[in-house]
Structure 1
Amino acid sequence: MRQISFNRPKQKVRGSHRRLKALDAWAGQFEGYFPLEYSDERYIDYKIPVLDRLVDPPTTTKEWQNRAIAAMFKAYENLHSAKPSEFLAVNIDLILTWPDLHGSSIIIFFDESYREGFYEKDNEWQKRIPQTIGLEGIPFDVPKSIDVQLVNFMNRDYDGEETTDWYTTNWYVCASKNC
């Protein structure tokens, strides 16, 4: 279950083994499943279903983050392999936010023009700046069948009175090489 720790953001994570096991089970649920019931929509996304402290600094460990990333890749690969032949044009992207993995998600784009608009943001409030990187620039292990692109996601906040500074998050957008 996806949870955010508002009251105890730096408390020790209890039940990490159980939580990681549940994340692996969540990834396994996508085996042989493709969300055909949502094919009339422009997209559907699946957020990482964990407690934020399990995958976000300062309470996470490298081992927990690696297990969470492996589960996200497993869910992605299960969805990709279950994609029916009539949906070959449908794109599935895995977005891993780094180092705060709690923002990670798998997005299935049923509408290609929406996907292009999703990544091509450049306005007063949001910017998405893609960068080419090599495998040495990625802070986690990537399966060989996956291409990765770094996207700097910049977001500006408006608190009702004034516009604040830009906040930047690194997105690692992962897509299958054979798409």
Structure 2
Amino acid sequence: MTMRRLALSNKKLRGIPRRLRSLKKWSESYESHFPDIQGSDYSYGYWNVKIPVHLALVQGKQTNSNIQSFCAQALIDAAYNIYRARGDNGSNIRVTCCIVLPDMFSSELCLFTSEEYFNEHTQVGNGFFGQLSLLSDRSLIKEWNLKLPNGFSELGVLRVNENDEGELYHSEHWYIGEVNKS
């Protein structure tokens, strides 16, 4: 099973092809499998699984754009597999993945069970997640040459908020999946 790991040293990351194959296998594990979110308390409107990789695979000086785009595509493919496996029982659930930059280790699969909570993540203005604005003049799909499955679209959101030291922090959150506002 693929797992998340922090980088506790600056050693060169070994086994990158093996790690990428493992991530692809993880993505494929969602084929015909919709997560059981009804048995748990997701009353706050959200279910997520973080990208199961070593930190150095997606962030820092050891990664590159090819590795990052492969990992992003694996997240998109996992979300699409969940989307196809959903069936009629989850028609009120919004299936997406969120690719976070520059902190790609924070990227995740997301199932929104509440439209209000999805709007908190994506609505322009000041909110719980800071100052949000749309990245409408860019496309991560085009920049990284990703494949957008049928029925999916992308929505880029720039978040600006204060970090623990009171400094402004900018991050891009690219929601890919069922993100069109209906």
Q: TM-score range by the shorter chain?
A: 0.7 to 0.9
Aligned to 2:153: 147
Does the 8 Å CA contact 1:147/1:174 hold for their aligned counterparts?
Answer: yes
Tell me how far 1:139 sits from its aligned partner. Answer: 2.4
Aligned to 1:171: 173
**1:118-133, aligned counterparts within 5 Å?**
118-120=121-123, 122-123=126-127, 126-133=130-137
In the superposition, relative to structure 1, how do residues 105 and 124 fare at CA in structure 2: closer, same or farther (>3 Å)?
closer
In the superposition, relative to structure 1, how do residues 69 and 125 fare at CA in structure 2: closer, same or farther (>3 Å)?
closer
In the superposition, relative to structure 1, how do residues 115 and 18 fare at CA in structure 2: closer, same or farther (>3 Å)?
same
Separation of aligned partners in 1, 2:61 and 2:20: 17
Aligned to 2:83: 80
Normalising by structure 2, report the TM-score. Answer: 0.82
Q: Report the more deviating stretch, 45-54 or 60-69.
A: 60-69
Deviation per CA, 1:91-111: give whole Å up to 9, x if none: 112111134321211110111
Separation of aligned partners in 2, 1:13 and 1:25: 20
* Secondary structure of the structure 2 residue equivalent to 1:36: coil
Give the aligned CA root-mean-square deviation in angstroms: 2.5
Aligned to 1:35: 35
Tell me how far 1:90 sits from its aligned partner. Answer: 1.1
**1:16-31, aligned counterparts within 5 Å?**
16-31=16-31
Does the 8 Å CA contact 2:120/2:129 hold for their aligned counterparts?
Answer: no
Does the 8 Å CA contact 2:158/2:170 hold for their aligned counterparts?
Answer: yes
Separation of aligned partners in 1, 2:128 and 2:108: 25
In the superposition, relative to structure 1, how do residues 168 and 16 fare at CA in structure 2: closer, same or farther (>3 Å)?
same
Aligned pairs, how many?
173
Separation of aligned partners in 1, 2:153 and 2:159: 18
Normalising by structure 1, report the TM-score. Answer: 0.83
Question: Which segments of 5 or more consecutive residues in structure 2 lack a partner in the other structure?
Answer: none
Q: Report the more deviating stretch, 76-85 or 113-122.
A: 113-122
% identical equivalent positions = 21
Does the 8 Å CA contact 1:57/1:100 hold for their aligned counterparts?
Answer: no
Question: Which segments of 5 or more consecutive residues in structure 1 lack a partner in the other structure?
Answer: none
Tell me how far 1:136 sits from its aligned partner. Answer: 7.9
In the superposition, relative to structure 1, how do residues 46 and 124 fare at CA in structure 2: closer, same or farther (>3 Å)?
closer
Tell me how far 1:36 sits from its aligned partner. Answer: 3.2
User: Given the alignment of the two structures, is residue 91 of structure 1 paired with residue 97 of structure 2, yes or no?
Assistant: no
